[in-house]
């Protein structure tokens, strides 16, 4: 079976649900607080696994009780955790998240064990993973580690998909090792200086990505939809209308679902349409990983909405 490798963060998300996100200095009542598995890398790996694809996660967790819970959860979702290091005397990555009724959120991230992922380990692990066809990376892990992962994959002939989140660490050096990018609106703006408002501005942003060496990608524009660029072509994909209750991890879910379809040989547009459906369904459910739909749930949703279904196996 084709294999997707994810290098990235694993966090325990401590999430408070509120009516409205408070403004600075304001105190508001919360509705509930939950501890739930998250982390951009782990979320992406779970999204791949829930699409029934073989996936290995390369990262670090701590030896605290959160680390044990995160490991157990990843195993239950059938992510290969044999490359996940559990470090002694180390706290796992954690986040403090607030989600309001509209589904929007803010996140505060404490790196913990994620900070200790080292580039030698990542290089050796990718080199040893002979089945890896696609490497999926984001930017909650140390910059030099992500760069090393991308360089190693490049040398091994592995396709690199970069989800540039959070985008404050993106450099041209990093971008030169990506085959494909999946930025959201804000990430596109930070990397290219372009605010996408229409097809013309999306084309300009895509041109800038191409100048930086990336010929293919999906520019996500939230509730509007997304623009797929592939060399000279640009295709707009409409967003799917749903009632959002929790957007945490929607981008990670998109990336994992996209990679799952891509590794199966679907076209870029088909892979993006598939990811669009999976991520739309995710925001209707709570939890960065718990909310990611299974392949069967995706099929059922396609039937219910009369949408073309791109699920392959
Ligand atoms: O992208 C969502 C994720 O970002 C959350 O699960 C949280 O852990 C933060 O890393």
Query: pLDDT: is 118 or 168 the higher one?
Result: 118
- How does residue 17 score in pLDDT terms, banded at 50, 70 and 90? very high
Ligand 1 atom closest to 13 (CA): 8
Phi, psi of 191 (to 5 degrees): -85, -40
Ligand 1 atom closest to 11 (CA): 8
The active-site residue, picked from 233, 252, 290, 300, is 252
- In the prediction, which pLDDT does 1 show? 47
Q: What is the pTM of this model?
A: 0.96
Q: Percentage of residues in the chain with pLDDT exceeding 70?
A: 99
Q: Ligand 1 in contact with 73 (CB < 6 A)? A: no
Q: Ligand 1 in contact with 44 (CB < 6 A)? A: no
Within-domain flag for 100: yes
219: domain range? 4-21+34-121+128-305
Residue 157, class by beta-carbon neighbours within 10 Å (0-12 exposed, 13-18 middle, 19+ buried)?
exposed
- In the prediction, which pLDDT does 271 show? 97
**Separation of 310 CA from ligand 1 center, angstroms?**
26
Mean pLDDT, residues 122-140? 96
Atom 2, ligand 1: which residue's CA is nearest? 249
The angle formed by the CA atoms of residues 78, 252 and 311, to the nearest 5 degrees, is 65
pLDDT at 313 over 80: no
Each residue of 182-194: pLDDT tens digit?
999 999 999 999 9
Each residue of 113-129: pLDDT tens digit?
999 999 999 999 999 99
Each residue of 21-73: pLDDT tens digit?
999 999 999 999 999 999 999 999 999 999 999 999 999 999 999 999 999 99
pLDDT at 174 over 70: yes
Within-domain flag for 133: yes
Q: Ligand 1 in contact with 254 (CB < 6 A)? A: no
The CATH number given to whatever domain includes residue 161 is 3.40.1190.20
Residue 111's nearest CA partner among 144, 78, 62, 148 is 62
Within-domain flag for 146: yes
Mutation to probe ligand 1, out of 10, 38, 98 (largest number of atoms < 8 A from CB): 38
Number of domains within the chain:
1
Locate 174 and state its tokens. 């990093």
Ligand 1 atom closest to 138 (CA): 1
- What's the rounded Cα separation, in Å, for the pair 276 and 272? 6
Within-domain flag for 248: yes
Q: Ligand 1 in contact with 41 (CB < 6 A)? A: no
Residue 52's nearest CA partner among 294, 302, 309 is 294
3-state secondary structure the chain: CCEEEEECCCEEEEEEEECCCCCCCCCCCEEEEEEEEECHHHHHHHHHHHCCCEEEEEEEEECCHHHHHHHHHHHHCCCECCCEEEECCCCCEEEEEEECCCCCEEEEEECHHHHHCCHHHHHHHHHHCCCEEEEEECCCCCHHHHHHHHHHHHHHCCEEEECCCCHHHCCHHHHCCCCEECCCHHHHHHHHCCCCCCHHHHHHHHHHHHHCCCCEEEEEEHHHEEEEEECCEEEEEECCCCCCCCCCCHHHHHHHHHHHHHHCCCCHHHHHHHHHHHHHHHCCCCCCCCCCCCHHHHHHHHHHHCCCCCCCC
Each residue of 205-251: pLDDT tens digit?
999 999 999 999 999 998 899 999 998 899 999 999 999 999 999 99
- 252 among known catalytic residues: yes
In angstroms, the first-to-last Cα distance of the chain is 11
Within-domain flag for 264: yes
Q: Percentage of residues in the chain with pLDDT exceeding 90?
A: 94
Mean pLDDT, residues 280-292? 96
Sheet holding 30-38, edge to edge: 30-38, 11-18, 93-99, 105-110
The partner residues of 110 in beta bridges, in order of sequence, read 94
Within-domain flag for 288: yes
Q: Ligand 1 in contact with 11 (CB < 6 A)? A: yes
- What's the rounded Cα separation, in Å, for the pair 33 and 145? 33
- In the prediction, which pLDDT does 235 show? 97
Locate 96 and state its tokens. 């403090």
- What's the rounded Cα separation, in Å, for the pair 247 and 236? 22
**Separation of 91 CA from ligand 1 center, angstroms?**
17
Residue with tokens 């090393």: 148
Atom 6, ligand 1: which residue's CA is nearest? 38
Within-domain flag for 311: no
Q: Ligand 1 in contact with 47 (CB < 6 A)? A: no
- What's the rounded Cα separation, in Å, for the pair 45 and 60? 14
């Amino acid at each position: 079976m084709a294999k997707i490798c994810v290098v990235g963060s694993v966090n325990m998300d401590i999430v408070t649900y509120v009516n409205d996100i408070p403004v600075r200095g304001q105190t508001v009542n919360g509705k509930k607080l939950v501890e739930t598995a998250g982390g951009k890398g782990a979320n992406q790996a779970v999204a791949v696994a829930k699409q029934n694809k073989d996936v290995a996660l390369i990262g670090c967790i701590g030896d605290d009780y959160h680390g044990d819970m995160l490991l157990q959860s990843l195993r239950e979702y059938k992510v290969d955790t044999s490359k996940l290091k559990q470090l002694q005397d180390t706290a796992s990555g954690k986040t403090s998240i607030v989600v309001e009724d509209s589904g929007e959120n803010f996140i505060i991230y404490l790196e913990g064990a994620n900070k200790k992922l080292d580039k030698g380990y990542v290089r050796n692990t990718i080199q040893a993973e002979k089945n890896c066809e696609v490497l999926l990376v984001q930017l909650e892990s140390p910059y030099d580690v992500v760069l090393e992962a991308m360089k190693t994959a490049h040398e091994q002939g592995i396709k690199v998909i970069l989800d540039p989140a959070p985008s404050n660490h993106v450099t041209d050096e990093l971008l030169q090792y990506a085959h494909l990018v999946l930025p959201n609106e804000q990430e596109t703006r930070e990397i290219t200086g372009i605010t996408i408002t229409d097809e013309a501005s999306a084309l300009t942003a895509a041109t800038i990505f191409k100048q930086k060496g990336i010929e293919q990608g999906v520019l996500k524009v939230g509730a509007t939809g997304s623009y797929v660029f592939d060399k000279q072509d640009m295709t707009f994909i409409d967003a799917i209308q749903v009632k959002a209750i929790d957007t945490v991890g929607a981008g990670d879910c998109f990336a994992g679902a996209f990679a799952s379809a891509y590794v199966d040989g679907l076209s870029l547009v088909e892979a993006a349409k598939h990811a669009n459906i999976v991520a739309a369904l995710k925001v209707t459910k709570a939890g960065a990983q718990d909310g990611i739909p299974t392949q069967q749930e995706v099929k059922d949703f396609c039937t219910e909405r009369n949408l073309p279904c791109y699920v392959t196996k």
